[in-house]
Structure 1
């Protein structure tokens, strides 16, 4: 999976924000801005909308996405519905400009196990199952649905520090064939204050398409809570080869109702 596809097809996610809360309300926990998905579900009866914009460069290709919309709502205490309208993408490569909407996605997050309240080697565990729906502009539309399963784990290391990790298995389609792709990530989060959270993360993709290429990424960023139900995020990172000057940067907004 290329850098621009990673940053425009997958809404970026979070492994930290559970550490940052205000007052006595439950913490606002989002699945952005880092790649690692959180184990926490949206409570039943609530809707959480996550959105943002990302600029990325991969070699001579520059891409900007607007939207990255993910709507999450709790169906039950251990089940969450996830609907993604994804983004409008503008991509320029070799003097050619392409733009249009991406495919939508639909899926669920299931809670498997709650972690201990204090620091422990025992993780909180969840799983996400979702698939793309061929619905975007012709230039970005996949020819068939592309399913994916993500196993999510989170460990509380202290009152302020947490570690989260994901293992993902997907079946992308490259326009000719479908193949299996593995991905993994690890994210350290630190609650700098009741409003500010900071994270640092590494993740990688290993497509089983015969190329034997593993794409590696690192990124960092922060979240800021304007209120218990409104969060701003900022992030930036580099792609597989710093020599190519591949990089990405983005901002986002999360609102809970």
Structure 2
């Protein structure tokens, strides 16, 4: 306040002198401060406050989107972690062989990684005889395009297929199936007995031929989980539900699917698996539950190319009698 008054009344030529006078007026020696009419400048109520740590208050520091150590940062591999902290693990490892969704029914619980393209192709022959009529089906090329976008834990999925059905005493039916779209989200890495998990929001859109299209969008959700037991064996499963159409009445219903698979590492290049899976229609008018058992082998040509074969049988009357197939998967880094 005194400086403001002096500045308004002192000419520019004597501004320095005014500042010196103001400084002398404002200066208070330490003894003068000690003589102020209170003993402790800190208010008395402040003495009763006990500092509270972040953990006691329930606060959690924001987890970073990447791991940084030794001046190097790595992106987060999964969306979540089982343990509290900032040490992230899991997710795709591009130095290891590719992890494919085929040839078994259970999808892989990991994503391909950001910027990575993985193409999986195959052929399946299916035979069924219900005692009154038989059918033979050819399914190809079963392409599934997987592309990592935005983060290592997110991939875009695009699938399409062409099918040919040979029905006894009837004309053959062939054409394209509805387009498949989805996103795979890597949820958690494996940590001890806690599984590696992923979830796939998915749907088919009515783009197929008249004989094979559902005529409407059929959404669904697929939850995948797996455990690596040791270097030889791993296991996992999937639980999913999808909107489906009854082939006889054309009415919609919900179809649940459950699977469980066991994978074996036989050599550095050869792997095998055995698997059970089933379909459970809910509120369907004519569709019945179907149960299957299948197995197969994989051969790793190199870290980015894998060839596979598989075969399976139906376990009840409503299921197809058997199927066989082969395929190849290629990863582009």
TM-score, structure 2 normalization? 0.66
CA contact (8 A) 1:42 1:48 kept: yes
In 2: Cα distance, 1:236 partner to 1:157 partner: 25
| Closer/same/farther in 2, CA of residues 217 and 114 from structure 1, 3 Å limit | same
Task: Name which one, 1 or 2, has greater alpha-carbon Rg.
Answer: 2
Per the alignment, in what secondary structure is the counterpart of residue 208 of structure 2? coil
| Closer/same/farther in 2, CA of residues 212 and 84 from structure 1, 3 Å limit | closer
Give the total of aligned pairs. 230
Q: 2:258 pairs with 176, 184, 190, which one?
A: 184
Matches within 5 A, 1:70-89: 70-75=144-149, 76-85=151-160, 87-89=161-163
Kindly provide the CA deviation profile for residues 82-133 of structure 1, in whole angstroms up to 9, marking residues without a partner as x.
0112x221111123211111111111000111113xxx32100110111001
**Alignment partner of 1:165 is 2:237:** yes
| Closer/same/farther in 2, CA of residues 243 and 142 from structure 1, 3 Å limit | closer
In 1: Cα distance, 2:145 partner to 2:268 partner: 25
Considering only aligned residues, what root-mean-square deviation do their CA atoms show, in Å?
Answer: 1.8
In 1: Cα distance, 2:121 partner to 2:207 partner: 19
5+ residue gaps, structure 2, are: 1-93
In 1: Cα distance, 2:319 partner to 2:120 partner: 31
Per the alignment, in what secondary structure is the counterpart of residue 143 of structure 2? strand
Per the alignment, in what secondary structure is the counterpart of residue 155 of structure 1? strand
**Alignment partner of 1:232 is 2:307:** yes
Where relative contact order (Cα < 8 A, 6+ residues apart) is larger, the structure is 1
Q: 1:33 pairs with 103, 111, 114, which one?
A: 103
5+ residue gaps, structure 1, are: 1-23
Q: CA deviation at 1:193?
A: 1.0
Following superposition, which runs of at least 4 residues in structure 1 exceed 4 angstroms of deviation? Answer: 242-245
Q: CA deviation at 1:152?
A: 0.4
In 1: Cα distance, 2:323 partner to 2:300 partner: 23
In 1: Cα distance, 2:179 partner to 2:119 partner: 15
Q: CA deviation at 1:160?
A: 1.4
In 2: Cα distance, 1:128 partner to 1:199 partner: 22
CA contact (8 A) 1:128 1:151 kept: yes
Q: CA deviation at 1:50?
A: 0.3
Q: CA deviation at 1:40?
A: 0.8
In 2: Cα distance, 1:217 partner to 1:211 partner: 19
**Alignment partner of 1:45 is 2:85:** no
Matches within 5 A, 1:57-72: 57-59=127-129, 60-72=134-146
Q: CA deviation at 1:213?
A: 3.2
* Aligned equivalent of 1:143: 215
CA contact (8 A) 1:144 1:173 kept: no
Per the alignment, in what secondary structure is the counterpart of residue 256 of structure 1? strand
**Alignment partner of 1:103 is 2:174:** no
| Closer/same/farther in 2, CA of residues 244 and 78 from structure 1, 3 Å limit | closer
Q: CA deviation at 1:239?
A: 1.2
